[in-house]
Amino acid sequence: MGHTSTPPPTAGGLTATEHRLSNGLRVVLSEDHLTPVAAVCLWYDVGSRHEVEGRTGLAHLFEHLMFQGSAQVKGNGHFELVQNAGGSLNGTTSFERTNYFETMPAHQLELALWLEADRMGSLLAALDEESMENQRDVVKNERRQRYDNVPYGTAFEKLTAMVYPEGHPYHHTPIGSMADLDAASLEDARDFFRTYYAPNNAVLAVVGDIDPEQTLAWIEKYFGSIPAHDAKRPPRDGTLPDVIGEELRQVVREEVPSRALMAAYRLPHDGTREADAADLALTVLGGGESSRLHNRLVRRDRTAVTAGFGMLRLAGAPSMGWLDVKASGDAEVAAIEAAVDEELARFAAEGPTPAEMERAQALLEREWLDRLATVGGRADELCRYAVLFGDPQLALTAVDRVLQVTADEVREVAAARLRPDNRAVLVYEPTETTAPDIAADVADGATVSDSATNDDQEAAQ
Residues known to be catalytic: 63
- Please report, as a single letter, which amino acid is at residue 455: D
SS3 of 351, please?
Answer: coil
CB contact set of 67 (below 8 Å; sequence gap of 6+):
76, 78, 79, 91, 458, 460, 461
CA–CA gap between residue 148 and residue 312 (Å, rounded): 21
Nearest Cα to Cα of residue 359 among 288, 457, 439 = 288
CB contact set of 226 (below 8 Å; sequence gap of 6+):
23, 25, 117, 120, 121, 198, 199
Torsions phi, psi for 419 (to 5 deg): -135, 155
CB contact set of 260 (below 8 Å; sequence gap of 6+):
152, 155, 324, 325, 326, 327, 333, 426, 427, 428
CA–CA gap between residue 377 and residue 370 (Å, rounded): 8
Number of H helices, E strands in the chain: 16, 13
CA–CA gap between residue 450 and residue 264 (Å, rounded): 16
Q: How far apart are the first and last CA of the chain?
A: 35
SS3 of 310, please?
Answer: strand
Handedness of CA 436, 438, 444, 445 (dihedral sign): negative
Residues in a beta bridge with 319: 267
Reduced to 3 DSSP states, what percent helix, strand and coil does the chain have, rounded to the nearest 5?
45, 20, 35
